[in-house]
């Protein structure tokens, strides 16, 4: 019995889907935390900027949502909802595992990077409030790579089914 066969196809597929949700969620928690820490410093000096700080803090949270979308799409596609996933082969399980990795890793790292960019954007808001939208553009640049990770995972999952 090989190493992968000891787990089974369904377990490998669920591991991949779970990693997409969990690692993206960890990245989002870390990224929103980084931005939130920077935001609290500004808000202690100027509470009137709460709305703009909140927008900048929320942006790194999207990767967690993307990871959850991939998780849901993967478990739906593998047949977990209708009970047809029980006979999944190891090869199919590995395909789902591999298909979920772009979102898992892309979500983890892009959310943390985006949190640091959002924290820097909060510094822009503190020093030049009229230029805070420039910081938003910088955050959206990082978001693009999270969207590419989402797209890569979704296209691979569609190809499997």
Residues in the chain: 161
Three-state DSSP string of 117-145? HHHHHHHHHHHCHHHHHHHHHHHHHHHHH
Split the chain (161 residues) into runs of 10 and give each run's mean pLDDT.
70 96 98 97 95 96 97 93 81 95 98 97 95 94 97 96 64
Cα–Cα dist 28/31, whole Å: 5
Q: Write down the pLDDT at residue 6.
A: 63
Name the residue with tokens 């890793």.
105
Cα–Cα dist 82/73, whole Å: 13
Q: Write down the pLDDT at residue 82.
A: 83
Cα–Cα dist 136/59, whole Å: 9
Chain-centre distance for alpha carbon 147: 9
Q: What pTM was computed for the model? A: 0.91
Residue ranges of the domains in the chain?
21-160
Contacts of 26 (CB under 8 A, 6+ apart): 108
The fold of 21-160 is 1.20.120
Q: Write down the pLDDT at residue 7.
A: 67
Backbone φ and ψ for 65, nearest 5 degrees, come out as -65, -40
Q: Write down the pLDDT at residue 86.
A: 73
Q: Write down the pLDDT at residue 121.
A: 96
Cα–Cα dist 120/126, whole Å: 10
- For 58-131, list the strands marked E by DSSP: none
- The two tokens of residue 61 are 């949270």
Q: Write down the pLDDT at residue 127.
A: 95
Cα–Cα dist 61/138, whole Å: 16
- The two tokens of residue 46 are 């100027």
């Amino acid at each position: 019995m090989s190493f992968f066969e000891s787990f089974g196809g369904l377990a490998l597929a669920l591991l991949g889907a779970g990693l997409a949700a969990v690692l993206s969620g960890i990245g989002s928690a870390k990224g929103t935390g980084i931005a939130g820490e920077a935001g609290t410093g500004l808000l202690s000096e100027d509470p009137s900027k709460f709305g703009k700080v909140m927008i900048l803090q929320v942006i790194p949270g999207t990767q967690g949502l993307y990871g959850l979308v991939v998780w849901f799409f993967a478990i739906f596609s593998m047949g977990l909802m209708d009970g047809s996933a029980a006979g999944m082969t190891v090869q199919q399980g590995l395909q789902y595992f591999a298909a979920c990795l772009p979102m898992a890793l892309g979500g983890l790292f892009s959310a943390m990077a985006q949190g640091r960019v959002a924290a820097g954007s909060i510094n822009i808001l503190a020093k030049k409030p009229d230029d805070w939208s420039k910081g938003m553009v910088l955050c959206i640049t990082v978001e693009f790579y999270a969207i590419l990770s989402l797209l890569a995972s979704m296209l691979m999952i569609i190809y499997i089914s």
